[in-house]
Amino acid sequence: MAPSARSAGLTSIERVSDNADPPRVRVTLPGGTQVPGKLIRWRQAPAGQWWAQVVIQIPAGVVVQIADEDYASVPREPAAPQLVFRPLRHDAPDRRALELHVAGCWGATGRLTPTTAEAAAHFVKHGWAVACTTCQPPIAAP
């Protein structure tokens, strides 16, 4: 008597996986590089060998798309712009001690300090920093 998928608990295992964050693993790529991943499931092949279904994140540049595959529905998750403070040489009422930039702005050079959108808005509101007029960092209005 073979158990059904439901009585074997497979359905409940999948439900748990859907709701829980999969456990982290390290995956060794050809060449020896290790990358972090999430273990989705163990699956045994008919010959007995176990395989792991793993989700890994790798640089997009190493992904080779296959002709005739449709990638239009693959979600894109752009990162929120990273904000940075650049210290200014002089502090004056018309030019404060810190300048706020979006990371990657041509004016964001030298020793940069990453910051949050909340802190950036606070610094600009109180006049401790000025927003770069070139990259116009997105900050909440005071």
Is the CB of residue 103 less than 8 Å from the CB of residue 93? no
Binding to Zn ion by residue 105, rule CB under 5 A? yes
Binding to Zn ion by residue 101, rule CB under 5 A? yes
- How far apart CA 38 and CA 20 sit, in angstroms, is 11
Binding to Zn ion by residue 98, rule CB under 5 A? no
Instruction: Tell which one of 87, 107, 127, 138 touches Zn ion (CB under 5 A).
Output: 107
Residue 128's contacts (CB-CB under 8 Å, 6 or more residues apart) are: 96, 97, 98
Nearer to Zn ion, 17 or 136 (CB): 136
Structure tokens belonging to residue 75: 């979600």
Instruction: Tell which one of 16, 29, 134, 138 touches Zn ion (CB under 5 A).
Output: 134
Interface residue list for Zn ion (CB under 5 A)? 101, 105, 107, 132, 134-135
